[in-house]
Amino acid sequence: MPTCARRRNSLIAAVAVTLALGTAAATQTPAPPRVRLVATGGTISNRTGGRLSAEELVKSMPGIERYAAPEFEQFTNLASSELTLAQWLGLAKRVNELFATDAGIEGVVVTSGTDTLEELAYFLNLAVRTEKPVVVVGSMRNPSTLGYEGAANLLEGFRVAAAPESRGKGVLVVLNDEINAAREVTKTDALRLNTFQSRGYGVLGVVDADRVAFFRSVVKRHTAKSEFDLSNVSSLPRVDVIMVYQGADGDLIKAAVDHGAKGIVVAGAGAGATSGTQQDGIAYALRKGVFVVTTTRTGSGRIAPPRRNPNAPPPAANPNNPNPLTPEEQRRRIAGEDLLPVKARVLLMLALARTSDPAEIQRMFSEY
Protein backbone atom coordinates (compact mmCIF):
# COMPACT_ATOMS: atom_id res chain seq x y z
CA MET A 1 0.00 0.00 0.00
CA PRO A 2 1.39 3.42 -0.94
CA THR A 3 2.64 5.55 1.94
CA CYS A 4 0.03 8.25 1.38
CA ALA A 5 -2.78 5.69 1.56
CA ARG A 6 -1.42 4.28 4.82
CA ARG A 7 -1.25 7.78 6.30
CA ARG A 8 -4.81 8.51 5.17
CA ASN A 9 -6.12 5.30 6.74
CA SER A 10 -4.25 5.99 9.97
CA LEU A 11 -5.75 9.48 10.12
CA ILE A 12 -9.24 8.14 9.52
CA ALA A 13 -8.77 5.53 12.28
CA ALA A 14 -7.49 8.17 14.72
CA VAL A 15 -10.48 10.40 14.00
CA ALA A 16 -12.84 7.46 14.52
CA VAL A 17 -11.27 6.59 17.86
CA THR A 18 -11.43 10.22 18.98
CA LEU A 19 -15.10 10.48 18.02
CA ALA A 20 -15.87 7.22 19.78
CA LEU A 21 -14.17 8.34 22.97
CA GLY A 22 -15.94 11.69 22.82
CA THR A 23 -19.30 10.02 22.39
CA ALA A 24 -18.62 7.68 25.31
CA ALA A 25 -17.59 10.60 27.51
CA ALA A 26 -20.68 12.57 26.54
CA THR A 27 -23.01 9.68 27.38
CA GLN A 28 -21.26 8.70 30.62
CA THR A 29 -23.50 9.22 33.66
CA PRO A 30 -21.98 11.77 36.06
CA ALA A 31 -21.18 10.57 39.56
CA PRO A 32 -23.98 11.32 42.04
CA PRO A 33 -23.26 14.11 44.55
CA ARG A 34 -21.73 13.13 47.87
CA VAL A 35 -24.08 13.78 50.80
CA ARG A 36 -23.06 13.16 54.42
CA LEU A 37 -25.50 11.98 57.10
CA VAL A 38 -24.72 13.32 60.58
CA ALA A 39 -26.99 11.32 62.87
CA THR A 40 -27.98 12.59 66.32
CA GLY A 41 -30.71 10.09 67.23
CA GLY A 42 -34.41 10.76 67.75
CA THR A 43 -37.49 8.69 67.01
CA ILE A 44 -36.20 7.94 63.52
CA SER A 45 -33.54 5.76 65.19
CA ASN A 46 -35.44 4.57 68.26
CA ARG A 47 -36.02 0.91 67.40
CA THR A 48 -37.29 -1.42 70.13
CA GLY A 49 -34.31 -3.23 71.61
CA GLY A 50 -31.69 -0.71 70.46
CA ARG A 51 -31.27 2.40 68.38
CA LEU A 52 -30.48 2.31 64.68
CA SER A 53 -26.98 3.51 63.85
CA ALA A 54 -26.14 6.03 61.16
CA GLU A 55 -24.94 3.16 58.96
CA GLU A 56 -28.22 1.28 59.42
CA LEU A 57 -30.19 4.39 58.57
CA VAL A 58 -28.29 4.79 55.30
CA LYS A 59 -28.89 1.13 54.43
CA SER A 60 -32.62 1.60 55.04
CA MET A 61 -33.04 3.88 52.00
CA PRO A 62 -33.97 1.98 48.84
CA GLY A 63 -32.64 3.51 45.62
CA ILE A 64 -30.49 6.15 47.29
CA GLU A 65 -27.74 5.59 44.69
CA ARG A 66 -29.99 7.18 42.05
CA TYR A 67 -29.76 10.52 43.82
CA ALA A 68 -26.64 10.68 45.99
CA ALA A 69 -23.50 8.91 47.10
CA PRO A 70 -24.33 8.56 50.81
CA GLU A 71 -21.79 8.87 53.62
CA PHE A 72 -22.49 8.76 57.32
CA GLU A 73 -21.21 9.48 60.80
CA GLN A 74 -22.69 9.08 64.26
CA PHE A 75 -22.61 12.35 66.21
CA THR A 76 -24.91 11.22 69.05
CA ASN A 77 -27.79 8.76 69.36
CA LEU A 78 -30.17 10.43 71.79
CA ALA A 79 -33.70 11.72 72.07
CA SER A 80 -33.72 15.32 70.85
CA SER A 81 -34.77 16.63 74.28
CA GLU A 82 -31.61 15.05 75.76
CA LEU A 83 -29.22 16.99 73.54
CA THR A 84 -27.35 19.67 75.45
CA LEU A 85 -26.48 23.16 74.27
CA ALA A 86 -22.84 22.07 74.31
CA GLN A 87 -23.77 19.32 71.83
CA TRP A 88 -25.62 21.87 69.69
CA LEU A 89 -22.40 23.88 69.51
CA GLY A 90 -20.40 20.77 68.71
CA LEU A 91 -22.82 19.76 65.96
CA ALA A 92 -22.73 23.17 64.28
CA LYS A 93 -18.94 23.22 64.46
CA ARG A 94 -18.77 19.71 63.00
CA VAL A 95 -21.00 20.62 60.04
CA ASN A 96 -18.94 23.75 59.42
CA GLU A 97 -15.78 21.64 59.58
CA LEU A 98 -17.13 19.15 57.03
CA PHE A 99 -17.77 21.87 54.46
CA ALA A 100 -14.51 23.68 55.22
CA THR A 101 -12.26 20.62 54.91
CA ASP A 102 -13.99 18.57 52.19
CA ALA A 103 -14.99 20.58 49.13
CA GLY A 104 -16.46 17.47 47.53
CA ILE A 105 -19.35 17.20 49.97
CA GLU A 106 -22.40 18.73 48.30
CA GLY A 107 -24.80 18.59 51.22
CA VAL A 108 -25.37 17.41 54.79
CA VAL A 109 -28.40 15.67 56.30
CA VAL A 110 -28.93 15.82 60.06
CA THR A 111 -31.35 13.48 61.83
CA SER A 112 -33.14 14.78 64.90
CA GLY A 113 -35.96 13.89 67.19
CA THR A 114 -39.06 15.84 66.27
CA ASP A 115 -39.82 17.26 69.74
CA THR A 116 -37.13 19.94 69.50
CA LEU A 117 -36.28 19.62 65.81
CA GLU A 118 -37.47 23.13 64.98
CA GLU A 119 -35.12 24.64 67.58
CA LEU A 120 -32.08 22.68 66.42
CA ALA A 121 -32.83 23.45 62.77
CA TYR A 122 -33.08 27.19 63.47
CA PHE A 123 -29.85 27.10 65.48
CA LEU A 124 -28.06 25.47 62.53
CA ASN A 125 -29.71 28.00 60.22
CA LEU A 126 -27.89 30.75 62.14
CA ALA A 127 -24.66 28.92 63.00
CA VAL A 128 -23.72 26.93 59.87
CA ARG A 129 -22.08 29.23 57.34
CA THR A 130 -22.37 27.72 53.87
CA GLU A 131 -24.38 28.03 50.68
CA LYS A 132 -24.56 24.24 50.41
CA PRO A 133 -27.74 22.50 51.58
CA VAL A 134 -28.17 21.41 55.18
CA VAL A 135 -31.33 19.34 55.68
CA VAL A 136 -32.84 18.25 58.99
CA VAL A 137 -35.11 15.20 58.99
CA GLY A 138 -36.90 13.05 61.55
CA SER A 139 -39.91 10.80 61.89
CA MET A 140 -43.05 10.64 64.01
CA ARG A 141 -43.11 6.82 64.18
CA ASN A 142 -40.25 4.67 65.38
CA PRO A 143 -38.68 1.85 63.32
CA SER A 144 -40.58 -0.83 65.25
CA THR A 145 -43.97 0.71 64.45
CA LEU A 146 -46.25 -0.24 61.56
CA GLY A 147 -46.13 2.63 59.07
CA TYR A 148 -42.66 3.86 60.05
CA GLU A 149 -41.93 6.76 57.70
CA GLY A 150 -38.34 7.40 58.72
CA ALA A 151 -36.67 5.77 55.72
CA ALA A 152 -38.88 7.73 53.30
CA ASN A 153 -38.18 11.02 55.08
CA LEU A 154 -34.46 10.28 55.11
CA LEU A 155 -34.40 9.44 51.41
CA GLU A 156 -36.23 12.66 50.61
CA GLY A 157 -33.81 14.55 52.84
CA PHE A 158 -30.90 13.15 50.82
CA ARG A 159 -32.64 14.07 47.58
CA VAL A 160 -33.11 17.66 48.75
CA ALA A 161 -29.51 17.87 49.98
CA ALA A 162 -28.27 16.61 46.61
CA ALA A 163 -30.42 18.98 44.55
CA PRO A 164 -28.58 22.03 43.15
CA GLU A 165 -31.79 24.06 43.60
CA SER A 166 -31.43 23.71 47.39
CA ARG A 167 -28.28 25.83 47.53
CA GLY A 168 -28.56 29.17 49.27
CA LYS A 169 -31.97 28.49 50.84
CA GLY A 170 -30.75 28.07 54.41
CA VAL A 171 -31.32 25.05 56.60
CA LEU A 172 -34.28 23.03 55.36
CA VAL A 173 -36.64 20.71 57.24
CA VAL A 174 -37.92 17.76 55.19
CA LEU A 175 -40.70 15.47 56.38
CA ASN A 176 -43.90 14.11 54.86
CA ASP A 177 -42.90 15.05 51.26
CA GLU A 178 -42.65 18.74 52.19
CA ILE A 179 -39.75 21.19 52.43
CA ASN A 180 -40.02 23.91 55.07
CA ALA A 181 -37.66 26.67 56.15
CA ALA A 182 -35.96 26.15 59.51
CA ARG A 183 -36.90 29.69 60.56
CA GLU A 184 -40.60 29.29 59.90
CA VAL A 185 -41.50 25.67 60.57
CA THR A 186 -43.00 24.41 63.82
CA LYS A 187 -44.40 21.18 65.19
CA THR A 188 -48.17 21.58 65.32
CA ASP A 189 -49.43 18.14 66.38
CA ALA A 190 -48.16 15.65 68.93
CA LEU A 191 -48.84 12.56 66.81
CA ARG A 192 -49.87 13.22 63.18
CA LEU A 193 -47.39 12.76 60.33
CA ASN A 194 -48.14 16.20 58.87
CA THR A 195 -47.17 17.90 62.13
CA PHE A 196 -44.48 20.21 60.71
CA GLN A 197 -46.11 23.30 59.25
CA SER A 198 -45.10 26.85 58.38
CA ARG A 199 -48.62 28.16 58.97
CA GLY A 200 -49.21 31.42 57.13
CA TYR A 201 -45.91 31.28 55.25
CA GLY A 202 -46.45 27.95 53.50
CA VAL A 203 -43.98 25.33 52.36
CA LEU A 204 -40.82 26.19 50.45
CA GLY A 205 -41.31 23.22 48.17
CA VAL A 206 -42.14 19.55 47.83
CA VAL A 207 -40.35 16.30 47.07
CA ASP A 208 -42.20 14.51 44.28
CA ALA A 209 -41.39 11.37 42.32
CA ASP A 210 -39.95 13.27 39.37
CA ARG A 211 -37.98 16.03 41.12
CA VAL A 212 -37.44 18.35 44.05
CA ALA A 213 -39.64 21.39 43.37
CA PHE A 214 -39.22 24.76 45.11
CA PHE A 215 -41.84 27.52 45.08
CA ARG A 216 -40.14 30.32 47.02
CA SER A 217 -37.13 31.34 49.14
CA VAL A 218 -36.59 32.90 52.57
CA VAL A 219 -35.55 36.56 52.56
CA LYS A 220 -34.25 36.70 56.16
CA ARG A 221 -30.51 36.32 56.77
CA HIS A 222 -29.18 32.82 57.33
CA THR A 223 -26.25 30.41 56.91
CA ALA A 224 -23.64 31.89 54.54
CA LYS A 225 -24.83 35.44 55.31
CA SER A 226 -24.98 34.91 59.07
CA GLU A 227 -22.70 36.93 61.34
CA PHE A 228 -22.66 34.30 64.09
CA ASP A 229 -19.20 32.73 64.15
CA LEU A 230 -18.93 29.94 66.71
CA SER A 231 -15.22 29.32 66.27
CA ASN A 232 -14.34 30.78 69.67
CA VAL A 233 -17.66 30.18 71.43
CA SER A 234 -17.42 27.48 74.11
CA SER A 235 -20.82 27.96 75.75
CA LEU A 236 -24.11 29.76 75.22
CA PRO A 237 -25.63 32.16 77.76
CA ARG A 238 -28.71 31.05 79.66
CA VAL A 239 -31.99 32.30 78.21
CA ASP A 240 -35.36 31.23 79.64
CA VAL A 241 -38.87 31.34 78.17
CA ILE A 242 -41.73 32.51 80.40
CA MET A 243 -45.35 31.98 79.40
CA VAL A 244 -48.04 34.61 79.96
CA TYR A 245 -51.29 33.32 81.47
CA GLN A 246 -54.05 34.88 83.51
CA GLY A 247 -52.80 36.10 86.87
CA ALA A 248 -49.19 35.04 86.20
CA ASP A 249 -46.67 35.81 88.91
CA GLY A 250 -43.59 37.86 88.11
CA ASP A 251 -41.60 35.88 90.69
CA LEU A 252 -40.84 33.28 88.00
CA ILE A 253 -39.02 35.93 85.98
CA LYS A 254 -37.16 37.13 89.06
CA ALA A 255 -36.16 33.56 89.91
CA ALA A 256 -34.77 32.99 86.41
CA VAL A 257 -32.71 36.18 86.71
CA ASP A 258 -31.46 35.25 90.18
CA HIS A 259 -30.38 31.84 88.86
CA GLY A 260 -28.22 33.28 86.10
CA ALA A 261 -30.43 33.99 83.10
CA LYS A 262 -28.89 36.58 80.78
CA GLY A 263 -32.05 36.83 78.73
CA ILE A 264 -35.78 36.22 79.13
CA VAL A 265 -38.20 35.52 76.30
CA VAL A 266 -41.79 36.37 77.22
CA ALA A 267 -44.39 34.38 75.31
CA GLY A 268 -47.00 37.10 75.54
CA ALA A 269 -50.76 36.93 75.19
CA GLY A 270 -52.02 38.33 71.90
CA ALA A 271 -49.74 41.09 70.68
CA GLY A 272 -47.42 40.79 73.68
CA ALA A 273 -49.60 41.49 76.71
CA THR A 274 -48.54 40.30 80.17
CA SER A 275 -50.66 39.47 83.20
CA GLY A 276 -50.55 39.47 86.99
CA THR A 277 -47.29 40.85 88.36
CA GLN A 278 -45.18 39.95 85.35
CA GLN A 279 -44.43 43.59 84.58
CA ASP A 280 -42.76 43.83 87.98
CA GLY A 281 -40.67 40.80 87.11
CA ILE A 282 -39.72 42.28 83.74
CA ALA A 283 -38.67 45.56 85.38
CA TYR A 284 -36.57 43.57 87.85
CA ALA A 285 -34.84 41.77 84.98
CA LEU A 286 -34.15 44.96 83.03
CA ARG A 287 -32.65 46.66 86.09
CA LYS A 288 -30.36 43.66 86.55
CA GLY A 289 -29.02 44.06 83.01
CA VAL A 290 -31.02 41.15 81.59
CA PHE A 291 -32.50 41.41 78.10
CA VAL A 292 -36.23 40.75 77.75
CA VAL A 293 -37.63 39.75 74.35
CA THR A 294 -41.37 39.99 73.75
CA THR A 295 -42.98 37.37 71.50
CA THR A 296 -46.50 36.02 71.13
CA ARG A 297 -47.83 32.67 72.30
CA THR A 298 -50.47 32.65 69.54
CA GLY A 299 -48.22 30.86 67.04
CA SER A 300 -48.15 33.64 64.47
CA GLY A 301 -48.05 37.41 64.27
CA ARG A 302 -45.36 40.07 64.58
CA ILE A 303 -44.23 42.03 67.61
CA ALA A 304 -42.86 45.31 66.22
CA PRO A 305 -40.13 47.38 67.91
CA PRO A 306 -41.50 50.47 69.71
CA ARG A 307 -40.99 53.87 68.14
CA ARG A 308 -38.56 55.82 70.28
CA ASN A 309 -38.11 59.56 69.88
CA PRO A 310 -34.65 60.55 71.15
CA ASN A 311 -35.83 64.15 71.49
CA ALA A 312 -38.90 63.35 73.56
CA PRO A 313 -38.99 64.91 77.07
CA PRO A 314 -38.66 62.53 80.03
CA PRO A 315 -41.96 61.12 81.30
CA ALA A 316 -43.73 62.99 84.06
CA ALA A 317 -43.25 61.77 87.61
CA ASN A 318 -45.67 58.99 88.55
CA PRO A 319 -46.36 58.67 92.28
CA ASN A 320 -47.40 55.06 91.72
CA ASN A 321 -43.99 54.29 90.19
CA PRO A 322 -41.35 56.24 92.10
CA ASN A 323 -38.53 54.16 90.57
CA PRO A 324 -39.11 54.19 86.79
CA LEU A 325 -36.81 52.40 84.39
CA THR A 326 -34.01 54.48 82.93
CA PRO A 327 -33.80 54.87 79.13
CA GLU A 328 -30.84 52.47 79.07
CA GLU A 329 -32.83 49.84 80.99
CA GLN A 330 -35.81 50.30 78.68
CA ARG A 331 -33.61 49.70 75.63
CA ARG A 332 -32.97 46.16 76.84
CA ARG A 333 -36.62 45.41 76.01
CA ILE A 334 -36.44 43.77 72.57
CA ALA A 335 -39.26 43.09 70.11
CA GLY A 336 -39.21 39.49 68.93
CA GLU A 337 -40.71 40.22 65.50
CA ASP A 338 -42.47 37.11 64.15
CA LEU A 339 -40.23 34.50 65.77
CA LEU A 340 -41.86 31.81 67.87
CA PRO A 341 -40.79 31.99 71.54
CA VAL A 342 -38.46 28.95 71.35
CA LYS A 343 -36.77 30.34 68.25
CA ALA A 344 -36.46 33.80 69.77
CA ARG A 345 -34.58 32.07 72.58
CA VAL A 346 -32.15 30.53 70.07
CA LEU A 347 -31.46 33.87 68.41
CA LEU A 348 -31.08 35.68 71.74
CA MET A 349 -28.52 33.13 72.96
CA LEU A 350 -26.42 33.63 69.85
CA ALA A 351 -26.88 37.41 69.96
CA LEU A 352 -25.76 37.62 73.59
CA ALA A 353 -22.73 35.49 72.81
CA ARG A 354 -21.74 38.22 70.37
CA THR A 355 -22.82 41.57 71.86
CA SER A 356 -24.56 43.34 74.74
CA ASP A 357 -25.60 46.36 72.65
CA PRO A 358 -29.43 46.65 72.69
CA ALA A 359 -29.55 48.35 69.30
CA GLU A 360 -27.48 45.56 67.76
CA ILE A 361 -29.65 42.86 69.29
CA GLN A 362 -32.82 44.54 68.04
CA ARG A 363 -31.24 44.77 64.59
CA MET A 364 -30.54 41.05 64.67
CA PHE A 365 -34.17 40.28 65.48
CA SER A 366 -35.22 42.40 62.51
CA GLU A 367 -32.74 40.81 60.10
CA TYR A 368 -32.84 37.14 61.13
What whole-number distance in Å separates Cα of residue 54 and Cα of residue 30? 26
DSSP string for 236-298: ---EEEEE--TT--THHHHHHHHTT-SEEEEEEBTTTB--TTHHHHHHHHHHTT-EEEEEETT
Would you tell me how many other CB atoms lie within 10 Å of the CB of residue 166? 25
Strand-strand pairing, 291-296 and 333-335:
parallel
DSSP type of residue 53 = P
Q: How far is CA 353 from CA 148, 220, 235, 337, 356, in A?
A: 40, 20, 8, 20, 8
> Is 355 among the residues known to form the active site?
no
Strand partners, 34: 69, 105
DSSP type of residue 33 = P
Exactly one of 40, 43, 130, 295 is catalytic; name it.
43
DSSP string for 294-345: EEETTSS--BPPPP--TTSPPPPP-TT-SSPPPHHHHHTEEE-BT--HHHHH
What whole-number distance in Å separates Cα of residue 175 and Cα of residue 192? 12
Strand-strand pairing, 34-41 and 105-111:
parallel
Strand partners, 178: 175, 206
What whole-number distance in Å separates Cα of residue 203 and Cα of residue 184? 9
DSSP string for 99-168: HHH-TTEEEEEEE--SSSHHHHHHHHHHH---SS-EEEE--SS-TTSTT--HHHHHHHHHHHHH-GGGTT
Residues classed as catalytic: 43
